[in-house]
Amino acid sequence: MEKYPTRIRNAADRILTLLKTKGPLPASKLADELGITSEGARLHLVKLQEEGLVQPESISRGVGRPIQIWSLTAVGNARFPDSHTELTLQLIQTIKNVLGKDALESVVSAREKNQQEKYHAALDGVAGLENRLDAFAAIRSKEGYLAEWKKEDGTYYFIENHCPICCAAQECDNICTSEMNTFVSIVGNEVDVSRQEHIINGARRCVYKITPTI
């Protein structure tokens, strides 16, 4: 079971989004997802490769011909939003240098408070864990996180396939802690939450494991 609010544009953009959210895929799988022929998918992939956005890799899986798997390049990843990176980094560095680390922590705490107030207001009246995950994924996707969720054997996983504030988070560790605090406040007290994958640590995405406690 998987929920993902997509923003469908043209086929090329959809291919880039699929490779971002699902990871490396063969042309046949992309064709299935888009409802086009494998040859059509390959034509799009070749054009995207010429633009430097995707790259192929041949993978051998035992007997038979190697399978060609496609993934995003660094340029392809850069097509996804990164919220005003240079200005954000300059502001963080300025606060550190001029006002000190304590002042930066205060700014991050204030942002966390504002974020939580905004999200709780948007989710007011949304009852039930799955409904709240649906709504929160939609909100975060609009903010550039490409969020989705899935359920496996009674455990939920909230997945953010992109981090539009990644550069800021690398510069200021407290931002990721703040994001975790905010997510815990959204899902409520009747679950345990842990971060299983983390973009800052080199993962392709951030994944939160949500285990109901009652």
- pLDDT tens per residue, range 111-165: 999 999 999 999 999 999 999 999 999 999 988 899 999 999 999 999 999 988 8
pLDDT score for 83? 58
The count of structural domains within the chain is 2
Q: What mean pLDDT is predicted for residues 16-38?
A: 92
Task: Please tell me whether residue 162 adopts helix, strand or coil conformation.
Answer: coil
**How does residue 28 score in pLDDT terms, banded at 50, 70 and 90?**
very high
User: Which CATH number goes with the domain that contains 34?
Assistant: 1.10.10.10
Q: Which residue range forms the structural domain that includes residue 114?
A: 85-212
Distance CA 14, CA 27 (A): 13
Distance CA 10, CA 203 (A): 28
Longest dimension (CA), the chain: 62
Summarised one tens digit per residue, pLDDT across range 74-107 is 888 878 866 567 777 888 889 888 999 899 899 9
DSSP code of 161?
A: S
> Beta strands 155-160 and 25-26: pairing type?
unpaired
Distance CA 187, CA 193 (A): 9
User: Which CATH number goes with the domain that contains 138?
Assistant: 3.30.1380
Percent of the chain at pLDDT above 90?
58
Distance CA 173, CA 193 (A): 19
pTM, entire model: 0.70
Summarised one tens digit per residue, pLDDT across range 184-203 is 999 988 899 999 999 989 89
Are 57 and 122 part of one and the same domain? no
pLDDT score for 7? 39
Q: Are 81 and 164 in contact (CB under 8 A)?
A: yes
Element (H, E) at 3: strand 2-3
